[in-house]
């Protein structure tokens, strides 16, 4: 069966301007020649350290059907193409046209933590009910959002878009492209504090998500967050009257009554839009319990089936790098298995709030006989002047939660290493690569291992090494 047409040459040139070569139609869009699929439109973006025009020929070799370029000289002879003055501007225009033609009901998500996991869970539960499109990976910035909109299928019934920011003023133009019916702020905490005076400024920046919300749309806010009232006030100032909340507070529209958190997830009892529901959330951890309320709030406000979505939450598992769990085997030199351990991959990013959530998740795990709870912690980035204190202060929850052993990675985590008792601290390393061999040698049968750190410290390399077979193979992964 042939793939559905996403853009024709005529539609694309109408949306973006420029001049077209050939009469073509594409089924997808790519900005990376290494990930280009047959039938794609390859967009040659330019950045400070790269130029996609250098990879146009490779994209055609990979099967792209046409290329969007600003320099026609890079095109193979007679190659189908759209030639424009600025490829990023053209992609933005393509995204706006994709949104304008769509009849999908759209949800936009922002927040200091929980954006991607919540988006992926919404994509799953809504996708079980109707055709649903969502931002891939963490495509939430000035190029990721328009790219996600440009790939929005014409016949999608639901869309879920993640919107991120590092500085004030970044969310507003993006959400005005997305034009959601529902806007969710998962929470506001001290992430990206390097670029803001305080959390109140972060909350103000997050509230920009209301700039693209119609006055008859729904704003969904975390009632337990200290910035709830400031966010609700900003929504009201913009004429938004449908303001819903989630959390443990007695006044929350979507209210948690009780949660039994176990290894494989959480049994939840909650009031969801006036209806008492019991359901199982397939992702373990307190933070996922609260996220589940936000997910069901979005489902309810978008008009989908809440009861079915609650049932389907049992099948939701954490995305890679955000708490994904892997049961791995430890192999002896002769290839025989000499034990097993559990790896929790939370290596995508970190701030004090998400770090605490990860440590609580580790603390809730029950190691095997003689096993340990091991935390491999990388630097938390973009924390501003309080960064040193925030790293040192992790020593207290590590002790309180009963984490048996800690590896530290990165110059800031060296400060935590100074605070840890020698019997708990297994080693410090400036680079993730240097930590791999000692970590592999340390892991024993029955251990539970958490890897957590900011993206820029690359503790994901440790995860890759553990999963690749350097420490063993994965007989099961969930």
pLDDT of residue 192: 53
pLDDT of residue 2: 57
Q: What pLDDT is stored for residue 474 in this prediction? A: 34
Say how far apart CA 252 and CA 250 lie, in whole Å: 6
Rounded Cα distance between 44 and 30, Å, is 9
Q: What is the pLDDT of residue 78?
A: 94
Whether the CB-CB separation of 326 and 474 falls below 8 Å is answered with yes
Q: What is the DSSP-derived secondary structure letter of residue 178?
A: H
Q: Which pLDDT score, from 0 to 100, does residue 45 have?
A: 97
pLDDT the model gives residue 409: 97
| 145 C-beta neighbours (distance < 10 Å), count | 25
Q: Which two tokens stand for residue 76?
A: 């193979």
d(CA 365, CA 80): 55
Supply the DSSP string of 23-45, one letter for each residue.
--EESEEES-GGG--TTEEEE--
Global pTM reads 0.81
| pLDDT score recorded for residue 193 | 56
Question: 3-state DSSP call for residue 111?
Answer: coil
- β-pairing, 324-331 vs 337-346, is antiparallel
- The pLDDT value given to residue 469: 65
Other CB atoms within 10 A of residue 261 CB = 17
Helices (H), 186-272: 199-206, 228-237
> How are strands ordered across the β-sheet holding 66-69?
19-21, 81-83, 66-69, 40-43, 28-30
**Domains of the chain, CATH where assigned:** 7-87 (3.40.1390.10), 102-315 (3.40.1190.10), 324-477 (3.90.190.20)
Question: Mean pLDDT per segment of 10 residues, for the chain of length 478 residues?
Answer: 85 96 96 96 93 96 97 96 97 98 98 91 98 90 95 97 92 97 93 72 95 95 97 97 97 96 89 94 91 98 97 90 87 81 91 91 92 96 87 96 96 96 95 94 95 92 86 36
Backbone Cα Rg of the chain: 23
Distance CA 290, CA 26 (A): 40
């Amino acid at each position: 069966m042939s793939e559905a047409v996403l853009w024709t040459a005529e539609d694309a040139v109408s949306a973006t301007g420029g001049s077209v070569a050939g009469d073509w139609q594409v089924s997808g869009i790519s900005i990376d020649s290494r990930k280009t699929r047959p039938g794609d439109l390859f967009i040659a973006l330019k950045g400070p350290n790269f130029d996609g025009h250098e990879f146009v020929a490779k994209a055609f070799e990979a099967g792209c059907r046409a290329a969007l370029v600003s320099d026609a000289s890079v095109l193979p002879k007679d190659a189908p193409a759209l030639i424009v003055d600025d490829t990023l501007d053209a992609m933005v225009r393509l995204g706006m046209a994709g949104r304008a033609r769509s009849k999908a009901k759209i949800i936009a998500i922002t927040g200091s933590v929980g954006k991607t996991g919540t988006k992926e869970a919404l994509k799953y539960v809504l996708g079980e009910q109707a055709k649903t499109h969502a931002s891939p990976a963490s495509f939430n910035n000035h190029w990721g959002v328009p790219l996600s909109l440009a790939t929005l299928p014409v016949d999608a019934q639901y869309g879920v878009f993640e919107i991120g920011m590092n500085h004030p003023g970044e969310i507003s133009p993006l959400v005005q492209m997305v034009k959601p019916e529902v806007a969710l702020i998962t929470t506001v905490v001290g992430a990206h504090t390097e670029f803001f005076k305080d959390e109140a400024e972060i909350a103000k920046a997050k509230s920009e998500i209301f700039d693209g919300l119609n006055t008859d749309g729904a704003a969904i806010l975390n009632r337990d967050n200290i910035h709830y009232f400031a966010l609700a006030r900003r929504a009201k100032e913009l004429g938004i009257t449908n303001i819903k909340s989630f959390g443990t507070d007695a006044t929350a529209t979507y209210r948690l009554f009780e949660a039994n958190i176990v290894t494989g997830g959480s049994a939840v009892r909650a009031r969801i839009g006036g209806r008492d529901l019991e359901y199982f959330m397939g992702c373990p951890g307190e933070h996922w319990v609260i996220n589940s309320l936000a997910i069901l709030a979005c489902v309810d406000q978008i008009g989908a089936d809440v009861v079915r979505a609650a049932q389907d939450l049992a099948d939701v598992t954490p995305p890679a790098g955000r708490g994904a769990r892997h049961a791995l085997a430890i192999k002896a030199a002769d290839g025989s298995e000499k034990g097993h351990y559990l790896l929790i991959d939370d290596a995508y990013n970190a701030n004090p709030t998400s770090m605490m959530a990860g440590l609580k998740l580790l603390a809730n795990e029950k190691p095997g006989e003689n096993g340990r709870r091991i935390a491999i912690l990388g630097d938390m980035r973009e924390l501003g002047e309080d960064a040193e204190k925030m790293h040192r202060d992790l020593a207290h929850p590590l002790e309180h939660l009963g984490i048996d052993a800690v590896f530290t990675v990165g110059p800031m985590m060296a400060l935590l290493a100074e605070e840890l008792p020698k019997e708990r601290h297994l080693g410090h390393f400036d680079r993730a690569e240097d930590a791999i061999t000692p970590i592999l040698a340390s892991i024993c049968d029955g251990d539970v291992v958490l890897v957590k750190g900011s993206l820029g410290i690359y503790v994901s390399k440790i995860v890759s090494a553990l999963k690749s077979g350097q420490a063993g193979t994965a007989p099961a992964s969930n």
